[in-house]
Amino acid sequence: MPSIKIQCPAKINLTLKVINKREDGFHNIESIMQAINLFDFLTINIEDSNITEILLDGNSADIPYNETNLVYKAAKLFLEETNISNKKITVFIDKNIPVSAGLAGGSTNAAGMLYGLNKLFNNILSESELHQLCAKLGSDLNFCLKGGCMMTKGRGEILEPHEYIERNINLIKPISLGISAKEAYTKFSEKVTDPKNRENYVNDLEWAVIDDYSELKHIKNKYPSAIMTGSGSTYYSFDDEFTNEDGYWIKNGLKTINYGVKSI
């Protein structure tokens, strides 16, 4: 039974500027994204079968293990694009990246699924074709596939190499607070008519949501140099180590990395 294990890194946004709203409802952004050494792991197995099945399992109670999971959607899209059928694909998701945290946990898992299936099927798709599938599934997948440090544009699917710097990274997140990208961009659209203080924020989405959540204001007041990543609710700092306190998930001592999803 062919099997592969894929390491899927989280990302942070070193900058995130929202340029405008697109006709398709998404927003054009310019964001420097950086991969970090916080990983989920996918174990993918393939068997011949009379039918096509995609079965997910994992160690987290915070994500679904059905067709709504982006990993499932990635596997389904890969099979459709390659005309592969009569396979039973089982995936175990070892989740370490918090959910709805601005760390691209779902996106990196989906990119890892595409990458892993392509490896198992002898690189049936080129890197360019994999990136085309990534762009169909979500805004952060292209970066997660490539990794390192990139200036991302469009919805996030357009990648331009950016200078990579090895740095220490510390993370803090309110345990009970997750913010979806949809919520953050909606709040941005509502607030952008009154741009007061926006220039004070490296991340436009932090500016959009911080006033609505006491947990985010608590982090910013305690660690003024900390920056929210993505749509939140995780903050990162290069300098400050975060101190343990009730209600907050903390991960100190991480580092930037110069790669994306890969097999191990």
Torsion angle of C-alpha atoms 24, 26, 27, 31, degrees rounded to 10:
-130
Structure token pair of residue 33: 């994204």
Tell me how far apart the alpha carbons of residues 61 and 58 are, in angstroms, rounded to a whole number. Answer: 8
Smallest CA-to-CA distance from 111 within 85, 153, 77, 83 is with: 77
DSSP secondary structure letter of residue 218: H
Tell me how far apart the alpha carbons of residues 35 and 148 are, in angstroms, rounded to a whole number. Answer: 5
Q: Pairing relation of β-strands 87-94 and 53-58?
A: parallel
Residues in the chain: 264
Q: Is 140 among the catalytic positions?
A: yes
* Identified catalytic residue from 40, 87, 95, 140: 140
* Identified catalytic residue from 11, 73, 146, 173: 11
Question: Number of C-alpha atoms within 13 angstroms, CB side, residue 81?
Answer: 21
Q: Is 204 among the catalytic positions?
A: no
Active site residues: 11, 140
